[in-house]
Amino acid sequence: MERPWVDVGVVKYLESKDFPFVCKSRGIFRDSQFTYVTSSLAEDGDLFKWCDRGPAPGPQRDAVLRPIVTQIISAVQLLHNYGIAHRDLSLENILMTTAKGGAEQIKLIDFGMATCSRQCCNESVGKKSYQAPETNIADKPYDPFLADCFALGVVIFALGAQDYPWLSTRKGACKMFDYAREHGFQRFIAARKVRKGNGERLKHVMSKDFVTLMEGLLSFRPDSRLTLGEHCWSNGATKLRPSVWDSPWAGQERSFA
């Protein structure tokens, strides 16, 4: 499913729009064997690496996480407003760099699975932990914008918990996902222990507002999933669906809106 030419095309288009959340392309070069696509360096690595940083899950981590998460949401919201769904959002495909003034800035990469269609997506793409449940139903079209929202929920969970919520969203492939689907997200959080903790449950160390945000993005039903506040979910001044910006956790620090 990887299409490097799509990645190059999307990056060039986003650069033409002054999209701030992408690594700048530096050129494409070839020799007798390979084609090399070069870009600016995100010197702080990806969010998978960032996950290992302290503090441990809890109020302090919540405070550190908030400006990063609101940036990520804003980046994907803007991407969707340009009519592009990423379809491979993950910790590894979101990089960190240090902007002028020392602030951390995120960069989206790897647009090889991106699409500009919202009607004809019927293939399951992306990493198994991040795939929205509806993408695993054979021959049934799904909305890739809402699938991106689910993947963002997995990213945010992993950042907050320092662990993945589940290994796969295919029915019967992961006991943790099957438990969450059967009993609901709140019971899943109440049963799940903090990785490398002292027996604490995630529900007791994460703020209620943060859990509510994750629950909205990780809704197993796409028709009840939180959106990112994209233009397509509004009719003039009227919002057609709730978004992450309605949540107290994300709404109080809406950067790059």
Q: Does residue 141 lie in a domain region?
A: yes
Q: Does residue 110 lie in a domain region?
A: yes
Q: Does residue 22 lie in a domain region?
A: no
Cα–Cα distance measured from residue 137 to residue 133, given in angstroms and rounded to the nearest whole number: 8
Instruction: State the average pLDDT over residues 31-57.
Output: 92
Total number of residues shown for the chain = 257
Cα–Cα distance measured from residue 236 to residue 101, given in angstroms and rounded to the nearest whole number: 37
Q: What is the pLDDT of residues 90-99, one digit of tens each?
A: 999 999 998 8
Q: Does residue 130 lie in a domain region?
A: yes
Is 48 a residue whose pLDDT tops 70?
Answer: yes
200-to-70, 74, 192 alpha-carbon distances in Å: 27, 32, 9
Contact between 200 and 192 (Cβ < 8 Å)? no
Contact between 41 and 26 (Cβ < 8 Å)? no
CATH code of 196's domain: 1.10.510.10
How many structural domains compose the chain?
1
pTM of the entire predicted model: 0.94
Instruction: State the average pLDDT over residues 172-180.
Output: 96
Q: Does residue 69 lie in a domain region?
A: yes
Q: Does residue 24 lie in a domain region?
A: no
In this structure, is the dihedral angle defined by the CA atoms of residues 202, 209, 220 and 22, taken in order, positive or negative? negative
Is 255 a residue whose pLDDT tops 70?
Answer: no
Q: Three-state SS string across the chain, please?
A: CCCHHHHHHHHHHHHHCCCCCECCEEEEEECCCCEEEEECCCCCCEHHHHCCCCCCCCHHHHHHHHHHHHHHHHHHHHHHHCCCECCCCCHHHEEEEECCCCCEEEEECCCCCCECCCCCECCCCCCCCCCCHHHHCCCCCECHHHHHHHHHHHHHHHHHHCCCCCCCCCCCCCHHHHHHHHHCHHHHHHHCECCCCCCCEHHHHCCHHHHHHHHHHCCCCHHHCCECCCHHHEECCEECCCEHHHCHHHHCCCCCC
Looking at residue 251, its pLDDT comes to 78
Q: What is the pLDDT of residues 133-174, one digit of tens each?
A: 999 887 788 999 999 999 999 999 999 999 999 999 998 999
Q: Which two tokens stand for residue 155?
A: 């990213």
Cα–Cα distance measured from residue 101 to residue 194, given in angstroms and rounded to the nearest whole number: 34
Domain that holds residue 115: 42-251
Looking at residue 53, its pLDDT comes to 83
Is 254 a residue whose pLDDT tops 60?
Answer: no
